[in-house]
Structure 1
Amino acid sequence: MDMDVIFDTACPWCFIGKRRLSLALAERPAIQPRFRWRPFLLNPDMPKAGMDRRQYLERKFGGPRRAQRMLEAAESAGRLVGIPFHFNRIERTPNTVDSHRLVRLGTTQDQRSRILDSLFEAYFVEGRDIGDRDVLVQIATIHGLDATQTREALDGAQDLADVSLENNRVHAIGMSGVPGFIFNGRFAIAGAQESAIFLRMLDLALESQVAQPVTNT
């Protein structure tokens, strides 16, 4: 089953949504997902070096109290799926372009998925700056990528245009926020839905897939 996952690496609900989808897939072991990780830039104008986290949150949510409520909601949802968010450890909100490029450097869907998990954990659990290329290279090597080749790729222009183009594409199909999920190119759902909702979408996509007539080519 084809699964498009539209995400940003600095989005806590994308982390939660990915985890909830994984839980749903564990209940449907017959489904063999073919993931495509599609970048969405929540902050396309973010400075290359990122910005102070407190300043960002106050600008984004209109003040510290509202920001705190939003973070508490994510923390509560995260605990239910085993994600120990530590937002207090985050000092800077990153520019996420390079982290999206790192995901794309994975050579298999499993490797890309594991890289993405490590990016989420580095940022939301450990408070590391995933806009820092040293951090990105460290994550790359954990998952078997060559450190020198990874740094050369990130220092160059490889995939920059592709990330920008993909970001434009997902906006063009009507995605205004993340996470977003598209199953078999037909069934879309927005938000970090509960696993039960993902199960319904998986079953719907599977039923449609089975019902399609077989054609000879």
Structure 2
Amino acid sequence: MSTLKPVRLDIVSDVVCPWCYIGKRRIEKALSLVTDIPVEVHWRPFFLNPWVPREGISREDYLTTKFGSVEAYKGIAGRVVTAAGEEGLSYRPDMVKRQPNTIDCHRLIHWAEAKGKAAEMKQRLMELYFRDGGDLTDVNVLVRAAADVGLDAEETRRRLATDEDVALISAQAEEAASKGISGVPTFVFAQKYAVSGAQPPEQLAAALRQVSAEVNAQAAE
């Protein structure tokens, strides 16, 4: 059993951010490279597109607003699709028909965290969106996703129909922005050091080792 003090790792990301999808896989690979270091992972919300209304908008309207046209995004998407494929992930932009506001997704991740299932919930929502073109504005899709990772379907449906934790998630996202986080994923180590972007696993693993050494040196003083 490790006697090392755990490293706290806060991962600030959004479920509709393709580089967050890739970054999640890379940090998982990084963690597999440092199994001797205890790490406490916390998934933190970020709103990549806070201007998208709660009911969502069509993907076409979204791409036109953000990138100028659907065609303009295709060039950008190609690079991301390739990067996802290299990580064993599937991103099929043509499958996505609706752009969601992600506050309900972040609520699900927050509720799943109470059961130790935050990472699974995050992964399920990302797979639904990027791989399957799932409509994350559809409450039935969200409830099924929650049930897939072991949350109670009817309880989830009831909670989604309320404003439970909307203020909390919004405050957490605003806190990240107030600390200067503008690009995601951002990996925050020991609440002190931030690494932005879907960095290679080896680089993230090196950062974990370095921070762990510092955290434990301080603990020994």
Q: How would you bin the TM-score normalised by the shorter chain?
A: over 0.9
Contact 1:78 1:85 in 2 (8 A): yes
Report SS of the residue matched to 2:41. Answer: strand
Distance (whole Å) between structure 1 residues aligned to residue 49 and residue 179 of structure 2: 18
Contact 1:3 1:183 in 2 (8 A): yes
State how many pairs are aligned. 215
Amino acid at match of 2:117: Q
Calculate percent identity across the aligned residue pairs: 34
1:7 aligns with 2:13: yes
1:53 aligns with 2:59: yes
Distance (whole Å) between structure 2 residues aligned to residue 120 and residue 199 of structure 1: 23
Quote the RMSD (CA, aligned, Å): 1.4
Which residue is 1:102 aligned to?
108
Contact 2:13 2:46 in 1 (8 A): yes
Deviations 1:9-43 (A, max 9, x none): 11111010010011111111112221111111111
In the TM superposition, residue 86 of structure 1 has moved relative to its aligned partner by 1.0
In the TM superposition, residue 167 of structure 1 has moved relative to its aligned partner by 0.9
Distance (whole Å) between structure 2 residues aligned to residue 69 and residue 109 of structure 1: 40
Distance (whole Å) between structure 2 residues aligned to residue 43 and residue 28 of structure 1: 34
Which residue is 1:133 aligned to?
139
Which residue is 1:71 aligned to?
77
1:142 aligns with 2:148: yes
Which residue is 2:38 aligned to?
32
What TM-score results when the alignment is normalised by the length of structure 2? 0.93
Structure 1: stretches of 5+ with no match in the other structure: none
Structure 2: stretches of 5+ with no match in the other structure: 1-6
Deviations 1:140-176 (A, max 9, x none): 1111111111011111111100011011100000001
The alpha-carbon distance between structure 1 residues 46 and 30, as it changes in their structure 2 partners (threshold 3 A), is same
Amino acid at match of 1:12: P
Which residue is 1:151 aligned to?
157
Distance (whole Å) between structure 2 residues aligned to residue 42 and residue 67 of structure 1: 16
Contact 1:34 1:109 in 2 (8 A): no
Distance (whole Å) between structure 1 residues aligned to residue 210 and residue 115 of structure 2: 23
Distance (whole Å) between structure 2 residues aligned to residue 3 and residue 124 of structure 1: 25
In the TM superposition, residue 110 of structure 1 has moved relative to its aligned partner by 4.1
Amino acid at match of 2:79: A
Report SS of the residue matched to 1:71. Answer: helix
What TM-score results when the alignment is normalised by the length of structure 1? 0.94
Which of 68, 73, 83 aligns to 2:89? It is 83
The alpha-carbon distance between structure 1 residues 39 and 59, as it changes in their structure 2 partners (threshold 3 A), is same
